[in-house]
Structure 1
Amino acid sequence: MDVLEAIKTRRSVGLVSEKPVPQDLLEQILEAGTWAPCHHRTEPWRYFVLTGDGRKPLGEALAKIAEKDMEDPSTENNQKKLAKRLRKPFRAPAVIVVAAEPTDDPKVLAKEEYGAVYSSIQNMLLAAHALGLGGFWRTGKPTYDPLMQDLFGLSKDGEVLGFLYIGFPEKDIPAGNRKHINDVTKWISTADGLKRN
């Protein structure tokens, strides 16, 4: 599959089988992540690959984070919600937790470090797709909670930026659609092309 086809046909795949993902495929995905563009070559990405029972601490952290926002976690309804959080990491046989550890070099902007890690995530999703795997990038408020920072042993400046759920798709991946480039692009070929009326 060439890169343009991979870009156009990749979709978020939330329904995957329980079949384990071979380590060599996971390693290819991780390596693709490390080839993302990176200003100053700081390589700020950090990966944590969770499989088997290694996914359990993530579920426990998600439940603890959810519990903090509950007035009474002991209610039947809240207990069901917490049980659901505990099971979330088990939706796929492999979860790649992607974090940023920005350099302390003062000439490097933290925003650019995050941009490099987001590029790394896209590389990994494309690699997973090209290898016949389904990938789903999850974020949301719990991702950025200090409990996640602690769980993965990140520095005070480090931050989890997403969870990639990886597995073999259970169904065909549907075609997608995007706006035409003309709807989101302005071509500028003169010096006053950006002037506003």
Structure 2
Amino acid sequence: MDVFEAIKTRRSNGLISNDPVPKELIENILEAGTWAPSHFRTEPWKFFVLQGDSRMQLGEVLADIAEKTMDDPTSETNRKKREKTLEKPFRAPVIITVAVEPNVNSEKVILLEEYGAVYAAIQNMLLAAHALGLGGYWRTGKPTYDPLMKELFGLSEKGEVLGFLYFGYPKKEMPAGKRKSINEVTTWLSEKSDFDNLLE
């Protein structure tokens, strides 16, 4: 599968089996992440591979975070919500938590660029998993950025979890995707005066 095919055919796919994913494939995905570009070669990414019972701890923290928004965590409805939240990490046999640990030892390093490098690593990993025949998806949301999540993975004050990559073997093929035409999102500039048109 060439890179253009991988880009165009990759889809977020939550319909995956519980069959274990070989360690070799996981390592290939991780290595793809490390080849993302990073300004000043800071390589600010951190990866945590969750399998087996380790996923229980992630479920516990997700449930604790959800509980903070509940008026009455002991109500029947909220107890059921907690149980459902505890099960979320078991929707895939492997989860790769991806975090950023920004380089704070250089005044040249821009924080936003450190985040950008890790987002690029995530895209590399999603494409690599697809090329290897795996299905998966990138989960984020408010719980991702909660201080309890940072604490769970032992990140520094400036560190941040940027997402959870759920991977497994797909149960079915996803339908073809659709994107806007490049003509809708691209402005071609060839003359200095072309910038004037951007202000109109």
For this structure pair, what is the TM-score category when the shorter chain's length is used for normalisation?
A: over 0.9
Unpaired runs of 5+ residues, structure 2, are none
How far, CA to CA, are the matches of 1:31 and 1:174 in structure 2?
A: 28
> How many corresponding residue pairs?
197
Deviations 1:40-63 (A, max 9, x none): 000000000000001111000000
Matches for 1:88-107 after TM superposition, within 5 Å: 88-104=88-104, 105-107=106-108
- 2:163 corresponds in structure 1 to 162
- 1:54 corresponds in structure 2 to 54
Q: CA deviation at 1:193?
A: 1.0
Q: CA deviation at 1:148?
A: 0.6
Tell me the TM-score normalized by structure 1.
0.99
How far, CA to CA, are the matches of 2:85 and 2:107 in structure 1?
A: 39
**1:126 partnered with 2:150:** no
How far, CA to CA, are the matches of 1:72 and 1:135 in structure 2?
A: 34
Q: CA deviation at 1:161?
A: 0.2
Identity %: 67
| SS of the residue 1:123 aligns to | helix
Unpaired runs of 5+ residues, structure 1, are none
Higher mean Cα deviation, 76-85 or 121-130? 76-85
| RMSD, matched Cα | 0.6
Matches for 1:37-116 after TM superposition, within 5 Å: 37-104=37-104, 105-116=106-117
How far, CA to CA, are the matches of 1:172 and 1:33 in structure 2?
A: 24
Q: CA deviation at 1:90?
A: 0.3
Q: CA deviation at 1:135?
A: 1.4
**1:28 partnered with 2:28:** yes
- 2:148 corresponds in structure 1 to 147
Moved over 3 A (4+): none
Tell me the TM-score normalized by structure 2.
0.97
